[in-house]
Amino acid sequence: MSTADLNDFLQPGQPLPSDQVMISKALEILESSPHGQQLTSFVEKKGITIKIMATPQPTAYLPDKKLVYIGFNRNNAVSPSRFILMLAGILREAQQEAAGIKHPSLQAPLSEHKKVSLAKQEDKVWYICTVATELNDQESFAKYNFLDELRKMGHNESLDLYIKQERKK
């Protein structure tokens, strides 16, 4: 089975594969990106557990530094590219936590919450843009349309800025 087969598993009207198949295929695809490799290596080294849960809307959640959840409506599953990008994003959050970049305590001033949360979100979105671009540039993942999916996720401005800055290098 090739690494591009996750698209075959997540077809509208088709039963979803097992959670383990979805997770392992997504990690396999992330391995094809240099920044995705950093994430998969992090998963292995830190013993991160990845779980899928049923939620009304697509979401990713990090309840613990070694446990990540990807949630979506199983009757209207997310696309393979969105699943992979959501996974990359939540794994980046787990990396931030492991590196000691944590959200302030509830008693911390609002300004501290804004500063840390915005920095973490900016880093996460930039990282997702990097992974999406690296995967999108590979012919074997053309049908995933990673950049289009990133735009559908609401990251138009971030992706445009990322691409503009990367071209300057």
As a three-state string, the secondary structure of 70-114 is EEECHHHCCCHHHHHHHHHHHHHHHHHHHCCCCCCCCCCCHHHHH
CA pair distance 58, 108, nearest whole angstrom: 29
pLDDT number for residue 4: 39
Tell me which residue of 72, 70, 63 sits closest to 94, measured CA to CA. Answer: 63
CA pair distance 141, 6, nearest whole angstrom: 10
CA pair distance 79, 62, nearest whole angstrom: 21
What's the token pair of residue 161? 């800025």
pLDDT number for residue 153: 95
pLDDT number for residue 14: 62
Let me know how long the chain is: 169
pLDDT number for residue 106: 86
Domain count across the chain: 1
Q: Which domain holds residue 17?
A: 3-168
The one-digit pLDDT tens for each residue of the chain (169 residues) are: 344 366 665 555 567 788 999 999 999 999 999 999 999 999 999 999 999 999 999 999 999 889 999 999 988 888 889 999 999 999 999 999 999 988 888 898 999 989 998 999 999 999 999 999 999 999 989 889 999 999 999 999 999 999 999 877 7
The alpha carbon dihedral of 90, 44, 138, 35 has a sign of positive
